[in-house]
Structures are given as structure tokens and as C-alpha cells.
Amino acid sequence: MQLDTVTLQILTAVILLMVSLSMPILMGKGVSRAARCMQASLLAEMLTWVLLISSSWLFDRVFSSLAIACGAISQWLMYLAVQGWVGKRQFGRLNLALMVLGPLGYAIGFSDYAFRVGWANFMVAGQMLIVAWATLYPRNQAQRGWRWLLGFALLMLALATLARGIVGGFFPDQYPSFRSPHPINLAWLIAVNVTVVLGTVAMMVAWREEVEQTLRDLAMKDPLTGLLNRRGFFDLGEAALARARRHSVPWVLMMLDLDHFKRVNDNHGHEVGDRALALFARLMAENQRAGDLAGRIGGEEFGVLLSHANPAAAIAFDERLRERLLTTSKAELGFELNFSAGLVQALADPENLQSVLQRADTALYRAKGAGRGQMVQG
């Protein structure tokens, strides 16, 4: 079967058109920034092909330069989507620089066919390699299947694009135009179509996982403070205590309660009360270590599980948090906040989280009964 480059180009444009138009319909409104970047990336890639095909008949310099710009923007947007799903990635500034230099160099050097073809392909291939690297590395999370799928699809396309740049840049007589039936060009067009399909599948899976994680967060986190809610604190806390029992690791549990919180609501209003709760939660999160758990148990009552910690570490945590709360609440709310705390040590014994929490709660009420603004060890 004889492959026709023009047919492959039109097929690519049609597939991208259908995909870019269907994504917003399938995903609906209110999607995350990462998902919107994915949608915009597909739309920019579709415009790339529409402009490239159109440049064969009219306004070659303008349309083809715009096509290169759209292709570069598409890769940048895909990078942002990946970063939104898996966290901060490397080489972002380099990707941004290549996005600018690719179309700029192409437009300036348009009169030199070999230069413009080589330049454009090398620049976009560099972007693809950066996005592939960002997808696969660093592996700071469990390596999900969609990351392998998208990363290797982009790697395949980047290599095909580099080969196309070498042929067009150094052997222009063998590759005289965009529609040339050169084997490298045909292989590149096939790689583009395969990447569109695999990349779309991978990004849809990434979006689905994001939605599932959002639903889990809604079930496990307190919407006002962003900390774990009671259910989340108990679920993750029980798992933490189970690990502590297996490895004979000591933990410390603290119960904290904002002092005279009813007065805050009565004197300043519930909106200020919500700001006070959010401020306290923020300072708790800033002062805890990786592996610690903090949650809002109910109302103005909070719980903290400090991992691999003894009472001395909990006392230090209490002192840091109390000092920060006094100064920050005065600056941000206009009045000082303080809290009472109960502390117990959760050793590697059969005790469950509920019983440890009850002991900490008893210590907390002793602190409140002793005049508040202090911590009592149970």
C-alpha cells in the first residue's frame, strides 16, 4: 500500500480537530488548570496542522511561521499539564526558551529552506524531549501507567522529529518540501498520528486519576482548613499506628483546642472565626514534619500525630506553634489567639487511635481547667 503524505496530514488534522472539540464536552466545566492546559495543547496542535496544510497553497511564510508557533505553544502547554498532575518538573525555563526561539528563528531564516526546516524540527524535538523527561522523571510519585504511555510516545515522536530535521536541514535535495514522500517524513507522520492517539488516552487517564483524587480529598479533608477531617484523621491515623506497632516506633498524639473561640465568633463574627480556624490550621501544617498527621477533629478542636517522636519533640512543636500563633494572629486578625493542648505518647502497643485520642482529650480538658493557654501531658 502506497502511503500519501497529504492524506496523512489531513488525517492528522481531522483527528486532532475531533479530539480537541470532544475533550471539553467529555470533561465538562470546572476542570483543573492541568486539564485546561491539556485541552489547549490539543487545540494548538490542531491549529498547527491546519496552518501547515494551508501554507502549501497560500501565505506560506505567514501560515507556516504561525504553525511552528502553535506547535511550540502546544508542547509548552502539555508540559504545564504534566506539571499540574505530577508536581514541579525540571527544565521549564528551557522549554519556554525553545518555545520562543523555534518560531522566531523559523520566521527570520525563512528564506533559507534547509535552515528553517532543521531549526524548527530541532527546536520542537527539544521541547518534546523535555516534556517526555518531565513525564517520566523525576519519579517522586508512584509511576503510573499513563506516564509511561505518554512519555514513550513523546520520546518516539521526538526521535522521528530529530531525524526529519537532519534530513531537511542537511539533505534538502532529498526532502524538498513538507509534502515530500521521503521515508523519514512518512515515518514522522505515522509517529504523529500514533502519538496523538496514545497521548490523548494517557492524558484522559491522568485526568480521571485527578478527578478520583479530588473525590478522595473531598471525603478525607476539611474544606475550611484543608487539613484532614475527622474521618481522614482516623483512617490515616489508624494506619500510622499499625505501622508503629509493626516497627516498634513511638508516636506522640496531641489534641489542641483554640481558647475562648466562642468569644471570637461572638465579638468578631463567624467569618473572622473561620479565618482564625484557617490561620491555625495553616500554622499547624507549616510546623509539622513530613510524615506527621494533622486534622480538624471538630469545631475548634484539632489533632496532631507526630511520627518518630517523644514528648520532648511534642513540647518543642507546641512552643513553636504557640509563638507563631500569638504573633501571626495579632498581625492578620487584629487580636491574639492561643490554644490549650493535651499530650499523650502512643507507644507500639495494642491501643487503637480512639483510646489514644480519649486519653489526649482528657489531658486537654485538664489544660483548659488549669487556666488554658498551656499543654498538659497525660
List residues with catalytic annotation. Answer: 300
Q: Give the orientation angle of helix 145-170 with respect to helix 183-220, to 10 degrees.
A: 150
Q: How far apart are CA 304 and CA 147, in angstroms?
A: 34
Alpha-carbon torsion angle 256, 262, 264, 269, nearest 10: 130
- For residue 202, the Cα-to-chain-centroid distance in whole angstroms is 15
**Residue of 243, 214, 255, 236 lying closest to 341 (CA atoms):** 255
Using CA atoms, how far apart are residues 49 and 124, in angstroms rounded to an integer? Answer: 14
Calculate the dihedral angle through the C-alpha atoms of 318, 320, 326, 331, rounding to the nearest 10 degrees: -150
Alpha-carbon span 57 to 293, nearest angstrom:
63
Quick one: which of 41, 16, 149, 160 has its CA closest to 8? Answer: 16
Contact 53, 13 (CB under 8 A): yes
SS3 305: strand
List 304's β-bridge partners, or say none: 254, 294
Question: In three state form, how does the secondary structure of 307-359 look?
Answer: CCCCHHHHHHHHHHHHHHHHHHHHHHHCCCCCEEEEEEEECCCCCCHHHHHHH
Using the structure block, give the residue that is written with the C-alpha cell 489531513: 10
Grid cell, residue 353, equals: 487511635
Measured CA to CA, the distance from residue 280 to residue 319 in angstroms comes to 14
From residue 149, give the alpha-carbon distance in Å to each of 84, 144, 264: 17, 9, 53
Query: Residue 58 in 3-state DSSP?
Result: coil
Residue matched to cell numbers 511550540: 72
Tell me if residue 298 falls in helix, strand or coil: strand
